[in-house]
Amino acid sequence: MNDADLQLPQLYFNRELSFLEFNQRVLEQAKDPEIPLLERVRFLCISCAILDEFFEIRVASLKELLEAGAIAAGPDGLSVPEQLKAIRVLAVRLVDEQYQLLNEVLLPELGKNGVVFVEPETWTPAQAKWIAEYFTREVEPVLSPLALDPARPFPKILNKSLNFAVVVEGEDGFGRNSGLAVVQAPRSLPRLIKLPDELGNRNFVFLGTIVEAFVATLFAGMKMRGCYQFRVTRNSDLFVEQEEVDDLLRAVEGELASRRYGDAVRLETAHDCPEEILSYLLEQFGLAADDLYKVSGPVNLNRLMALYDLVDRPELKYSAFTPSIPDRLKVGGDVFATLRGGDILLHHPFQGFGPVTDFVKHAANDPQVLAIKQTLYRVGSDSAIVAALVDAAAAGKDVTVIIELRARFDEEANIELATKLQEAGAHVMYGVFGFKTHAKLVMVVRREEKSLRRYCHLGTGNYHTKTARLYTDYGLLTADESIGEDIHEIFLQLTGLTQVPKLRKLLHAPFSLHQALLAKIEREAEHARAGKPARVIAKLNALTEPTVIQALYRASRAGVEIDLIVRGVCCLRPSVRGVSDRIRVRSIVGRFLEHSRVYYFENAGAQEVYCGSADWMDRNLFRRIEIAFPIEEPELKARVAGDLMLYLKDDMQAWVLGSEGHYRRAAAEGHISAQARLMSLYDERLALTEG
């Protein structure tokens, strides 16, 4: 087989179908009886939320391509219509499994554990009275029934909002009888209501159930024939035309207003909704029958996530876990002096995110610090890091922040963040138009004796304290001069006008990272052909970029052993004879979301280990500002390599990708969970000593 054959469609999996396979693995967590019950409910909600975003972004994009007349196939050979057809088959199956799991397993199990969802037919008189009063007091005042007739056309329906199609009979006071009305549930209303303890401890009722039970009161004198939930999912991707934008912030603000009413891509309805209502709704939204999903339960299932915080039952949740702190940071004192003594590598959430926050706070309060520069992609609300940057700017320090306004679904929060920092006196930039700034960087410039010194943090994850407790990521705190100079060059490029910088240690997308990856993979192939040690291990969220996949195929054929730990989408087909015999692909799905990106190259015994912000995808390598940074101190490099080996031994939360495209659970032999081992390894009693 020659290199041209490595482009054959049968050597690639479809990106969209691979993503649905990932969602299936998440749903399998909700099915696992070994996982605490409320965690299983949470995994079910995550699966539903993932599917929502898949339709909002990926299916919406395919529909746009189809509407534009594009039917061309990708590397896998599937045309746009073929992809949509295949997505429909898998998505229907996934939705059916979600609701079957809810109705037949999770709700009964919750009931056995005293967490009950009450239905009208089971309401006690006291419960019925309280719920009726709740409807009258809290719900009815904010509902606006919209009867449909020639004077009142079909209303605008907000993306993913809860709605009810109500069928009524009879004439109203004006002699009208349209037969159909729409009731929209405002988002201000909670979708899950807890009944008072005296009416049953931990008893809940869905908002949809309450509305359906009492909606007839909104149509006095009319006869209600039926009430059916529905929800529409819309295209939520933002489009900002580069040539027509003078002010990116205003452009994004304008697009946010239209996102809520983008083109419809999916309609969800109650399973018993009459055919004539279904046809009417599909027509109003411009959808076809294949865009309809009938469900046996609440159409907004992911709102069940609120149950986790409403039920205080520790035995139904994962046991509490307290992240550790590296020994060198426990003693307090001057963090800058500590970093002059050597790098510190943090592995979240097994080690806390506090040292990163403290690093920025320390810089903000240190009179010797002259400047702080940072990139922000997602930070969350009430960020301590943002507060420290505000304090630093207010204190007269030079604070420069690169905020990515187009971080998907965080655009509005980032606009507010930009305003807050600007008001404090910080220099706020929005990166380079057309390229999302996805790199995770902090640089602190400090005066020491007669010179300036740079201290830096580089990470694989966002500066977001909440996700740092839920996602696995690495962060490097360093005073390395070459890395500091590289980051300085990158900030100059982001804020000013410079040529592509020549970096000393960092790999930089969209410039050097892609070519460096290809060169390092080819170097491993050369070592293998020469009989030298050769191996590639990559831990990623996704692998889709064709030329990288082809490089891996060539390396496999040359004799390189390749292990890929890919959480989500993987378009590479492993275990194909003569092509990818030596490539193994696994996915870890567990308590924490695997988010760190790590690239390991054996390099004939002179191992290289990089951590970074970039997956091996087209968008990361060519359309984003990304950074990969080397882990060079021997002990730290050994730690990261050891973590990778642990993930490769995982047989409790690992799924192995077969050459046919399906994942199967790893055979449980050693009963090893990488995440559980790391939680134990980084336990405060066993905290590793760094340096």
Q: Are 393 and 365 in contact (CB under 8 A)?
A: no
- 430-457: average pLDDT: 91
Cα atoms in the 13 Å half-sphere on the side-chain side of 492: 12
For residue 510, whether the previous peptide bond is cis, meaning omega lies within 30 degrees of 0, is: yes
- Model confidence over 607-631: pLDDT tens digits? 999 999 999 999 999 999 999 999 9
Q: What is the pLDDT of residue 3?
A: 76
Extended strands (E) in 515-571: 535-540, 561-566
Which CATH number, 2.40.50.140, 3.30.870.10, 3.40.449.10, 2.60.40.10, labels domain 508-686? 3.30.870.10
**Per-residue confidence band for 171, with pLDDT thresholds at 50, 70 and 90:** low
Q: In this structure, what token pair is assigned to residue 287? A: 């959808």
Q: What is the pLDDT of residue 224?
A: 84
- Model confidence over 321-368: pLDDT tens digits? 889 988 888 766 789 999 999 999 999 999 999 999 999 999 999 999
pLDDT at residue 430 above 50? Answer: yes
Cα Rg of the chain, angstroms: 27
User: Coil, strand, or helix at residue 472?
Assistant: strand
Q: In this structure, what token pair is assigned to residue 626? A: 């990304």
Name the residue with tokens 């000013």: 496
**Per-residue confidence band for 260, with pLDDT thresholds at 50, 70 and 90:** low
Angle at CA of residue 236, ends 233 and 237, nearest 5°: 145
- Model confidence over 190-221: pLDDT tens digits? 999 999 989 877 899 999 999 999 999 988 87
Backbone angles phi, psi at 447, to 5 degrees: -85, 125
**In whole numbers, what is the pLDDT of the chain averaged over residues?**
90
- Model confidence over 489-508: pLDDT tens digits? 999 999 887 788 899 999 99
**Per-residue confidence band for 422, with pLDDT thresholds at 50, 70 and 90:** confident
- 65-85: average pLDDT: 89
Extended strands (E) in 219-290: 223-234, 264-270
The answer for residues whose C-beta is within 8 angstroms of residue 158's C-beta and 6 or more apart is 184, 187, 260, 261
For residue 186, whether the previous peptide bond is cis, meaning omega lies within 30 degrees of 0, is: no
| Residue 225: C-alpha distances to residues 170, 180, 220, 272, 559 (Å) | 11, 10, 13, 13, 69
Across 229-233, 299-303, 429-433, the highest mean pLDDT is recorded for 229-233
- 463-476: average pLDDT: 94
Amino acid making up residue 196: P
- What span, in angstroms and rounded, lies between the C-alpha atoms of 209 and 118? 9
- The secondary structure of 171-210 as a DSSP string is --TTS---SEEEEE--TTS-SEEEPPGGG-TTEEEEHHHH
- What span, in angstroms and rounded, lies between the C-alpha atoms of 555 and 572? 13
> Among residues of the chain, what percentage have pLDDT more than 90?
73
Angle at CA of residue 22, ends 20 and 24, nearest 5°: 70
Element housing 624 (H / E): strand 624-630
Low-confidence winner among 10-14, 150-154, 620-624 (lowest mean pLDDT)? 150-154
- What span, in angstroms and rounded, lies between the C-alpha atoms of 323 and 317? 17
User: Does the domain spanning 7-316 belong to CATH 3.30.1840.10?
Assistant: yes
- 553-578: average pLDDT: 97
Q: Give start-end residues of each CATH 3.30.870.10 domain in the chain.
A: 327-502, 508-686
CATH code of the region 327-502: 3.30.870.10
Q: What is the pLDDT of residue 245?
A: 41
Catalytic residues: 438
- 88-117: average pLDDT: 96
pLDDT at residue 449 above 70? Answer: yes
> Among residues of the chain, what percentage have pLDDT more than 70?
92
Q: Give start-end residues of each CATH 3.30.1840.10 domain in the chain.
A: 7-316
- What span, in angstroms and rounded, lies between the C-alpha atoms of 197 and 312? 13
Q: What is the pLDDT of residue 652?
A: 95
Residue 457 forms beta bridges with which residues?
442, 477
Q: What is the pLDDT of residue 74?
A: 87
